């Protein structure tokens, strides 16, 4: 069966990819012009060289696939951890925000939660920064929060304003938890009640006190 030009070209490209250029299978003698097939040892050496060239390429591709798979695995683990941290933060934030809202409602209504006394100074109360004081004075407006380690807490401190002696001022501090102790969110509100006028100033505590 004779080789067509297209078939011969394909075989040449295949041999070139593995690093072995195809040599003619037959040799023409200068004198008689007869063709003689290449010897078996030559063809065996040709195949050995091709197999030796393909093996490093296969190993390189395998190593690249393994490295890519490892990188994707690490990225998936990091994404999963980030998602868990975000979920914990949102749980703690909503718990603290709910406790703070309930405390504000109780203080405005004048029922339920008592306030710690504070001296008549221009500075705002800071007893919430002391762990023992906060744990002793904090109330739990919600008995249990779903998915949280502990129920959210809220502490109310009285605040005397020398410039506004008829007004009642309070500093409310709430703390919400996530699934573990380290996932905490602290929120505060400055509440001023002056007759029928109520002022609310909300803020988030960036660094927890303890």
DSSP for 123-186? SPP-GGGSHHHHHHH-B-SSS--TT-SS--EEEEEEE--TT-TT-EEEEEEEEEE-SSTT-EEE
pTM higher than 0.85 for the full model? no
* Structural domain boundaries, residue 141: 88-205
In a domain, 94, yes or no: yes
Comparison of pLDDT for 68 and 14, the residue scoring more: 68
Question: Is there a single domain that holds both residue 187 and residue 106?
Answer: yes
Q: Which residue among 36, 69, 102 closes a domain?
A: 69
Least confident of 19-23, 90-94, 107-111: 19-23
Instruction: Give the total number of structural domains in the chain.
Output: 2
Confidence of residue 207 (pLDDT cuts 50, 70, 90): very high
| pLDDT higher than 70, residue 3 | no
In a domain, 129, yes or no: yes
In a domain, 82, yes or no: no
Q: Which residues pair with 185 in a beta bridge?
A: 176
Question: Is there a single domain that holds both residue 98 and residue 65?
Answer: no
Question: Is there a single domain that holds both residue 58 and residue 97?
Answer: no
In a domain, 42, yes or no: yes
In a domain, 135, yes or no: yes
Q: Which residues pair with 156 in a beta bridge?
A: 172
Question: Is there a single domain that holds both residue 111 and residue 193?
Answer: yes
């Amino acid at each position: 069966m004779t080789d067509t030009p297209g078939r011969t070209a394909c075989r040449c490209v295949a041999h070139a990819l593995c690093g072995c250029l195809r040599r003619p299978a037959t040799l023409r003698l200068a004198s008689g012009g007869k063709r003689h097939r290449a010897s078996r040892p030559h063809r065996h050496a040709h195949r050995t060289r091709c197999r030796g060239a393909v093996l490093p390429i296969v190993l390189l591709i395998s190593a690249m696939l393994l490295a890519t798979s490892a990188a994707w695995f690490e990225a998936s683990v990091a994404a999963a951890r980030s998602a868990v941290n975000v979920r914990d933060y949102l749980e703690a934030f909503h718990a603290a925000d709910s406790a703070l809202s309930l405390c504000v409602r109780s203080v405005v209504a004048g029922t339920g939660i008592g306030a710690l006394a504070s001296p008549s100074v221009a500075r705002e109360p800071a007893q919430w920064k002391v762990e023992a004081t906060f744990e002793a004075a904090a109330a739990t407006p919600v008995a249990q929060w779903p998915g949280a380690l502990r129920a959210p807490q809220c502490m109310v401190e009285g605040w005397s304003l020398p410039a506004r002696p008829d007004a009642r001022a309070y500093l409310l501090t709430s703390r919400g938890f996530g699934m573990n102790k380290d996932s905490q969110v602290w929120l505060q509100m400055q509440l001023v009640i002056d007759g029928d006028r109520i002022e609310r100033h909300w803020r988030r505590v960036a660094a927890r006190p303890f």
